[in-house]
């Protein structure tokens, strides 16, 4: 019992640390949609996103991809930018 509580606490701590790291490591997402969508397919795929933001965590892309279809549409990117701290 005691051991599992310890693991739980460790898990929470690790999650908090990851969250903090995410905040500090976050680049500024000011790029226009057209600059990200390099093949002009109308959507930004993870590979395009990563090319532009090599340090970005997959979590960031997943957050921006509001409908979880694996690509960012202009509306999704715009909304994501509006949610970013300035």
Residues in the site for Ca ion, rule: CB under 5 A? 37, 39, 41, 65, 67, 69
Q: Which is nearer to Ca ion, 14 or 75 (CB)?
A: 75
The CB-of-10 to Ca ion minimum distance in angstroms stands at 34
Q: Which string of b and e fits 49-71 if b means at least 16 CB within 10 Å?
A: beeebeebeeebbeebbeeeeeb
CB of 74 to Ca ion, least distance (A): 10
The residue ranges of DSSP E strands in the chain, in sequence order, are 44-45, 71-72
Which residue has its beta carbon closest to Ca ion?
41
- CB 11, CB 23: distance < 8 Å: no
Q: Which is nearer to Ca ion, 6 or 58 (CB)?
A: 58
As measured in angstroms, the least distance from the Cβ of 34 to Ca ion is 10
At 48, list the tokens: 């395009």
Nearer to Ca ion, 13 or 42 (CB): 42
């Amino acid at each position: 019992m005691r051991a599992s509580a310890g693991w739980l606490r460790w898990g929470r701590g690790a999650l908090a640390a990851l969250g903090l790291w995410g905040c500090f490591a976050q680049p500024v997402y000011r790029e226009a949609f057209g600059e990200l969508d390099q093949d002009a397919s109308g959507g930004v795929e993870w590979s395009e996103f990563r090319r532009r933001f090599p340090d970005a965590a997959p979590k960031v892309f997943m957050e921006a991809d509001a409908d979880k279809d694996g690509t960012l549409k202009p509306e999704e990117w715009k909304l994501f930018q509006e949610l970013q701290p300035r």
